[in-house]
Amino acid sequence: MDIIRMEGITKGYPDHPVLNDLNLSIKKGECFTLLGPSGCGKTVLMRLIAGFETPDAGRIYIDDTPVADLADHIDVPTENRGLGVVFQDYAVWPHMTVFENIAYPLKIAKVPKDELKKRVMEMVDIVGMNGLDKRYPSELSGGQQQRVALARALVGKPSLMLLDEPLSNLDANLREEMRFEIKELQRKLGVTVLYVTHDQEIGLAISDRVAIMDANGNIQQIGTPWEIFEKPVNPFVFNFMGIANFIDVRRENGAFLVGNGNQQMPWPTLPEGDTNKWVAGFRPSDVNISRDGAGLRGIVRRANFLGATMDYLVEIDGTHLRTAIETHHAIAKDLVLKAGDQCSIEFTALHWFEAEQLKGVHEE
Amino acid sequence: MSAQIKQKSSFGVAQIILFLSIAILVIVVAFPVLLILFNAFWVEDHFDFANTISILKQPATYEALMNSIIIASMSTVGSTIVGTFFAWLVTRTDIPYHNFMKSMFLVPFMLPSFIGAIAWKMLLSPNAGLINKFFMENFGFDGPIFNIYSYYGISAVEIMYLFPFVFIQVCGALERMDPTLEESARISGAGLMTITRKITIPLVMPSILSGALLIMLYSMAHFGTVAVLGIERGIYNIPVLIYERIHQSGGSFDSIRLGAILATVLVISAAIIIWAQRKILSTGHYQIIGGKSFRPTQLKLRGLRIPMMLFCFAYIGFTIVLPTVIIFLVGGLSTYGLPFTPENLSLDNYKFILFDFDVTRDAIFNSVTLGFTAAVITMFAGVMISYVIVKMKVRGKGILEFLGMLPFSVPGSVIALGVILAWSGQFGINLYNTVWIILVAYIARYMAFSLKANSAALEQIHDSLVEAARACGATMWQSLKDIVLPLVKPGMLAAFFLIFLPSLRELTVSIMLYAPTTRTIGVAIYTLNEDGETVISCALAGIALIIIVLGQFVINHFSKKAGV
């Protein structure tokens, strides 16, 4: 069953359209991540669901009840949508203690004192803030403030929690720790989570499903993290999921030739379609480099020693790709190359896209 | 959860707040100002610009106009030089006690300039002035060494009380200026004079000019100093002429019309000045001065260090300590003119004005209650209006933003005339000669302070704090009550004191609006002094100074606590 259904949502600001005729459904109980580059409109989408903004057109349903529909003059205010929201800047109230912050939703709901206290202390325990409940936010670290914000969003037992880049203000270690805690909380409390972020690692790590949004506010692909990573529908999605190489491949007389040269693409499955211009997309880790083994012949144009890995930029008949090799491996196999050295390239994984699709990807 | 989802009511809270805010500003500020403009050009039943011009050409009017400009120009130039020099001295040189001096140079901000004018009148009036007399008696001077009843005298007194406007702006700019800008010039081989001329001064120029324009605006419409020192020798400026004409004729039509025309001149000048100030502040120069605090390199004064320090102390002693001491001493005399010997000095006058003299007792009561009421009302109105301007997304906000600028550009004397036109019965409500008309005028006059303090506080409250409350189930009202109000409290408190304290010494507005029973402290000091009750007037001035200084301590205490 869908907890959120958005139909034909359009939202724009003067001289700046954000979302156009967007459709999206989120299933009850899942952890759903909306992933996109900054400025793509993902935060606007979340704010529309929360009711901080109203759509210019389209309908939003929460639990099959319309909450926003301009045509029918429906605009349920935020406080009646029954959500928990966690903001990027935590939005913990500086004039209230940790306890008061977490208790606020219950106070508004007029929960009796004893029960309020019990539930708040339960939440304090769940987010690991025992003993800190009498502190003010100014006495807490960023990570602790974010825990307070999480507890506050969860204490009212909302069926849906919205998180807008909640970890982006935390340092890398804390971010990693917190993302598993959020996932753990979601499983424990059975709440539906809509997580908005530009960080694909978090998206892949905690989500049941992921939606990839492009810079123009269009959803490019929705699927499980595996599907998104392994079967990207287009170069944008592929590129967004990590550093990607794209090399030009042209079809001439049934043969697939790399760049402007005459070497055939060493890959068993070749694309089918009318167009003659293709690109092969692959990650640096999907490349095997050798001095004179089988595969495409190329020239190392730049070699960087990055400590644990060596990073090579290789040119093959006018087209470039990047590959990385572990340094100790490179030493053992005599693969410490330098600019100007000849080399051979093979692939272990590869995706075909039409060259037409590539347009715009690198401009992001 | 379906049960929780309710339809939004069609009742638009936002629209109501917007409407209320616009209504307050229209009634309190816009309407009176419009009436002034209307009266300036409307004769009998038609617009008559020729008539307006002919009134402006009358010798008395024309002269008042020129006097306003002359005095304002002299005061502006003088204050700018004094303010910039001292600002540079305390921020950029190794002068001793610079923190103490910095706070002393800000003291004139607190002191009402007309009380200063009264003090200087006693010190430097041509015949009776204590300093003049001292020189004539002891050094054989034939005449006074300085006549305070002159353009120079008036400007000098205004400079003493207005230079902090420039001082504070320039200090801020010099302290925030990135020292690497000067250091890189130094590395390029520029000498100190070249650096000062080519780098430092151009960078702080916007602050200097913006402070200077504030002084210009203030001085053109300033009543107190000119009224105390100018009337004797027939030196009138615009507000003094408006007051004299309306006062003498008991509010005749002609005097009101003349007032309206002169007030229009003030409004237009103010609009030009505010426009120029905004223009200057928005130039690129200003951005080089960042928000970060740096430790600027200090110039070593070497041999000049001690002389400069002595000069500063002499200035502080002469312009701040001396007049204040004189006020308290004269306030202690049994009869004005007696020498300051122990047997002539007592606290009797102070006791008299506090407990026995009904005029001064009423005045203190009026000022305190008026100031308190105006401060409370303006504080709440200001927080509401600022909230709409800073935080709300609602159609029609543009009108409010425009109206919100009005209080900043309407001088006090204009407001006084405006409320006379608006609330003297022509529109069904007659508040003239009551304390209420002064209250309305105070609210209009101090709205700008409240808007400024509250907007600043509201801008620091991130939108997500309110949104988080809404997401927790709070209605708009609940989120205002639980989140916005507690967080904006320091701003509101600041607004309260920013209004309450100046209103205790207010003169420009109250002098136009007072009735025998509705004198304020400022009016009582001024009129008692005019009536020759010098010692009583000084005693009251002394009490006023004590109240103001105590109040300032309270402000400093609160603002330190609130971190404003």
Are residues B475 and A93, on separate chains, in Cβ contact within 8 Å? no
pLDDT of residue B295: 58
B332 Cβ partners below 8 Å, 6+ apart?
Answer: B345, B346, B347, B349, B350, B535, B539
**CATH 1.10.3720.10 segments of chain B:** 56-327, 344-564
Pairwise CA distance, residues A298 & B483, whole Å: 64
* A247 shares a domain with A233: no
Residue in B with minimal Cα distance to A65: B2
For range A323-338, the mean pLDDT: 87
Cα A16 to the center of its chain, rounded Å: 23
Residue B244 identity: E
Asked casually if ipTM beats, i.e. exceeds, 0.85, the reply is no
Q: Per-residue pLDDT tens for A172-204?
A: 777 888 888 888 888 888 889 999 988 888 888
* A297 shares a domain with A218: no
Q: Residue A77: its chain B contacts at CB < 8 A?
A: 8, 470, 475-476
Q: Which stretches of chain B score pLDDT less than 50? A: 1-10, 284-287, 289-293, 563-564
State whether CATH 1.10.3720.10 applies to domain B344-564: yes
Q: Residue B475: its chain A contacts at CB < 8 A?
A: 77, 79
| A355 compared with A296, residue with greater pLDDT | A296
Interface test with A, best of B472, B476, B477, B492 (most A CBs within 10 A): B472
Residue in B with minimal Cα distance to A109: B473
Asked whether residue A138 is domain-assigned, the answer is: yes
Q: Point out the residue among A64, A75, A83 whose CB comes nearest to the CB of B471.
A: A83
* Domain of A282, in residue numbers: 242-358
* A278 shares a domain with A214: no
Asked if A164 and A36 count as a contact pair (C-beta separation under 8 A), the reply is no
pLDDT of residue A361: 62
- pLDDT tier, A318 (very low <50, low <70, confident <90, very high otherwise): confident
Are residues A95 and B486, on separate chains, in Cβ contact within 8 Å? yes
What are A's interface residues with B at a Cβ cutoff of 8 A? Answer: 50-52, 62-65, 67, 74-85, 87-89, 91-95, 104-105, 108-109, 149, 152-153, 156, 159, 162
pLDDT of residue B252: 80
Are residues B474 and A75, on separate chains, in Cβ contact within 8 Å? no
- Does A300 score more than 50 pLDDT? yes
Asked whether residue A363 is domain-assigned, the answer is: no
Are residues A81 and B5, on separate chains, in Cβ contact within 8 Å? yes
Number of domains forming the structure of chain A: 2
Asked if A281 and A353 count as a contact pair (C-beta separation under 8 A), the reply is yes
pLDDT of residue A27: 92
Q: Point out the residue among B2, B465, B471 whose CB comes nearest to the CB of A63.
A: B2
Query: Which has the minimum average pLDDT: A11-25, A45-59, A145-159?
Result: A11-25
Are residues A85 and B468, on separate chains, in Cβ contact within 8 Å? yes
Are residues A108 and B4, on separate chains, in Cβ contact within 8 Å? no
Are residues A82 and B1, on separate chains, in Cβ contact within 8 Å? yes
Interface test with B, best of A54, A69, A72, A79 (most B CBs within 10 A): A79
Q: Residue B464: its chain A contacts at CB < 8 A?
A: 87-89, 91
Q: Point out the residue among A50, A62, A84 whose CB comes nearest to the CB of B5.
A: A62
* A87 shares a domain with A14: yes
pLDDT of residue B1: 40
Q: Residue A89: its chain B contacts at CB < 8 A?
A: 462, 464
Task: Compute the nearest-CA separation of B552 from chain A (Å).
Answer: 26
Are residues B473 and A149, on separate chains, in Cβ contact within 8 Å? no
Q: Residue A83: its chain B contacts at CB < 8 A?
A: 471
pLDDT of residue B283: 64
Any idea what the CATH number is for the domain that residue A12 is in? 3.40.50.300
Task: Compute the nearest-CA separation of B8 from chain A (Å).
Answer: 5
Asked whether residue A364 is domain-assigned, the answer is: no
Q: Residue A104: its chain B contacts at CB < 8 A?
A: 469, 472, 474, 482
Pairwise CA distance, residues A327 & A307, whole Å: 7
Are residues B470 and A79, on separate chains, in Cβ contact within 8 Å? yes
Q: Name beta bridge partners: B43.
A: B46
Eight-class DSSP state of B108: G
CATH number for region B56-327: 1.10.3720.10
Q: Name beta bridge partners: A60.
A: A6, A68
pLDDT of residue B297: 67
Asked if A213 and A41 count as a contact pair (C-beta separation under 8 A), the reply is yes
Q: How far, CA to CA in Å, does A279 sit from each of A165, A215, A295, A361?
A: 33, 22, 17, 12
What are B's interface residues with A at a Cβ cutoff of 8 A? Answer: 1-2, 4-8, 462, 464-465, 467-476, 478, 482-483, 486-487
Pairwise CA distance, residues B38 & B256, whole Å: 12
CA angle A71, A72, A75 (to 5 degrees): 100
Asked whether residue A353 is domain-assigned, the answer is: yes
* A248 shares a domain with A203: no
Any idea what the CATH number is for the domain that residue A271 is in? 2.40.50.100
**Of A221, A215, A188, nearest to A203 (Cα)?**
A221
Q: Residue A59: its chain B contacts at CB < 8 A?
A: none
Query: What are the φ/ψ torsions at residue B90 (nearest 5 degrees)?
Result: -80, -25
Q: Residue A108: its chain B contacts at CB < 8 A?
A: 472-474, 478
* A119 shares a domain with A17: yes
Mean pLDDT of chain A: 87
* A130 shares a domain with A197: yes
* A287 shares a domain with A179: no
DSSP B479-543: HIIIIIHHHHHHHHHHHHHHHHHHHHT--TTHHHH--TT---HHHHHHHHHHTT-HHHHHHHHHH
A77 Cβ partners below 8 Å, 6+ apart?
Answer: A51, B8, B470, B475, B476
DSSP A103-145: HHHHHHTT--HHHHHHHHHHHHHHTT-TT-TT--GGGS-HHHH
Task: Compute the nearest-CA separation of B389 from chain A (Å).
Answer: 18
Q: Point out the residue among B473, B475, B483 whose CB comes nearest to the CB of A105.
A: B473
pLDDT of residue A75: 86
Are residues A91 and B478, on separate chains, in Cβ contact within 8 Å? no
Tokens encoding B515: 């009735």
Are residues B467 and A87, on separate chains, in Cβ contact within 8 Å? yes
Q: Point out the residue among A74, A87, A159 whose CB comes nearest to the CB of B468.
A: A87
Residue in B with minimal Cα distance to A91: B465
Asked if B480 and B554 count as a contact pair (C-beta separation under 8 A), the reply is no
